[in-house]
Copies of this chain bind each other. A is one copy, B any other.
């Protein structure tokens, strides 16, 4: 049955939203609801609940060092399974539906197994199914490389699949369903007054995502920004509007722009300090080059020069990289570096701060009033981050949230 093409939307459901068969039924209902609102619907799903952990566990019993190609072959079965089950649930409710693997959906990636990037989407098959009036369910997180081998997209991969499909299909928008319901001004578990934001710019969302907010993965937001895809982050469990992420100029200008939109915290930080680095060109490059060669991501960096003419440098890394970092320090004959695992990062984010000088001073003042010591500072045009003691994180987040009067 052929018919005129309607507006397309892409809906993405994460692992908790498809955690069990009952939840998949709810997802099917919601997909059909959107369809009945007159949209052509493409759905992207993650693997059901703990499938991914279970698959990793099976592989772990066979080898400590699985090849990435075979891991991708294995892991991709999780999303293939959930997509076929969701398709059955939609069909059971009387609607035409078809599930597609990443390969069938035409998602072509580069060759980097376990962390592949999408190069292109050949959407002919999806378009054909939509024209035949079907709801299309695509297995998230996966694609194929030029060899025809299955690749996976790494952390946040299903978000990236959804955004990439929205681009390829020229969708009206892309809805990301979560168990949280939107993007909040800070962690609602820490601050009861945390508010759900109505709309955010891509840049604010990126800063929030990279400062510890876990709702959206940076890569998906970058992809959306580059291609101007409107995102709607909302709850799988109710019909409330969530948070819209879009170009700053598209955000309703009648609303008074808040200066600070969010406060985030990240306790996954380790601070490393080296006190006697020769203060000459190339020393820092040699240091960080070595870290980069070992795939260690550096977050904040602060450097000072002491009176003796030696540089003191501090930087933060993720705890998971600590053991490799120790080896690198040894190689660099920097065994005396001080490693501090009791630190955390807090950040305030807001596109409005560009037009408001004094925000940094305000932040430092609020923290000082509470007796919270600032150990490192890093800024971007729309973000200020401070490293503080891990034990003071809750205090700091609450003080900043109420101090900047976020609502």
What is the CB-to-nearest-CB distance from A373 to chain B, in angstroms, rounded to a whole number? 49
Min CB distance, A28 to chain B, in Å? 9
CB-CB < 8 A to A73: which residues of B? 80, 83-84, 87, 99, 101
Residue ID in chain B nearest A99 by CB atoms: B73
Give A78 Cβ to nearest chain B Cβ, in Å: 8
Which B residue's beta carbon lies closest to that of A61? B21
> Which size class do A's interface residues fall under?
35 or more
Instruction: Please tell me if the beta carbons of B59 and A85 are within 8 angstroms of each other in the complex.
Output: yes
Give residues of chain A (60-79) contacting chain B, Cβ–Cβ below 8 Å.
Answer: 61-63, 65-67, 69-71, 73-74, 76-77
Q: Report whether B58 and A70 are in contact in the complex, using a CB–CB cutoff of 8 Å.
A: no
Asked whether any CB of chain B lies closer than 8 Å to the CB of A104, the reply is: yes
A88-96, A152-160, A333-341: which one contacts chain B?
A88-96
Cα-based distance from A9 to B148 in the complex (angstroms): 25
> Is A149 among interface residues, defined by CB-CB distance under 8 A?
yes
The proximity string for A residues 33-74 relative to B, scoring 1 for CB distances below 8 Å and 0 otherwise, is 000000000000000000000010011011101110111011
CB 8 Å contact bits of A381-396 with B (1 = contact, 0 = none): 0000000000000000
Taking a contact as CB atoms under 8 Å apart, the answer to whether B77 and A58 are in contact is no
For A62, the chain B residues whose CB sits under 8 A away are 21, 24-25, 85, 88-89, 92
A367 is an interface residue with CB less than 8 A from chain B:
no
Contacting pair A104 B67 (CB below 8 A): no
Residue A81 at the B interface, CB < 8 A?
A: yes
Name the residue on B nearest A77 (C-beta).
B77
A89's partner among B63, B65, B104, B125 (CB-CB below 8 A) is B63
Contacting pair A88 B104 (CB below 8 A): no
What residue in chain B is nearest A148 (Cβ atoms)? B104
**B67/A88 in contact, CB under 8 A:** yes
Residue in chain B with minimal CB distance to A55? B81
Evaluate whether A58 and B85 lie within 8 angstroms (CB atoms) in the complex, with A148-B104, A149-B104 already known. yes
Per-position 1/0 for A273-314, Cβ under 8 A of B: 000000000000000000000000000000000000000000
List, in ascending order, chain B residues with CB within 8 A of A164's CB: none
Q: Chain B residues near A125: list those with CB within 8 A.
A: 148
The answer to whether A233 has its CB under 8 Å from any CB of chain B is no
Asked if A98 and B69 make an inter-chain contact with CB atoms under 8 angstroms apart, the answer reads: yes
Instruction: Give every chain B residue within 8 A of A21 (Cβ-Cβ).
Output: 58, 61-62
A83 to B87, CA, bound (A): 25
B69 engages A74 (CB within 8 Å): no
Cα(A58)–Cα(B80), bound, Å: 13
A243: CB under 8 A from chain B? no
Q: How far is the CA of A85 from the CA of B70 in the complex (A)?
A: 8
Which residue among A25, A55, A104 has the maximum number of chain B CB atoms within 10 Å of its CB?
A104
Q: CA–CA, A150 to B98, complex, Å?
A: 12
CA distance in complex: A149, B125 (Å) = 11
Interface residue from B74, B81, B98, B149 paired with A74 (Cβ < 8 Å):
B81
Q: Give A179 Cβ to nearest chain B Cβ, in Å.
A: 21
Contact B103 A88 (CB under 8 A): no
Contacting residue for A66 out of B55, B67, B81, B88, CB 8 A: B88
CA distance A59 to B65 in the complex (A): 33
Nearest residue in B to A79 (C-beta to C-beta)?
A: B77
CB-CB nearest in chain B for A98: B69
- Asked if B85 and A67 make an inter-chain contact with CB atoms under 8 angstroms apart, the answer reads no
10 CB contacts below 8 A, A to B, read A21-B62, A62-B89, A63-B89, A66-B91, A67-B88, A67-B91, A69-B98, A70-B84, A70-B87, A70-B88
Q: A21-B58, A70-B98, A73-B99 are in contact. List 9 more A-B contacts (CB 8 A).
A: A25-B62, A58-B85, A63-B92, A66-B88, A70-B87, A70-B88, A73-B87, A76-B80, A77-B77
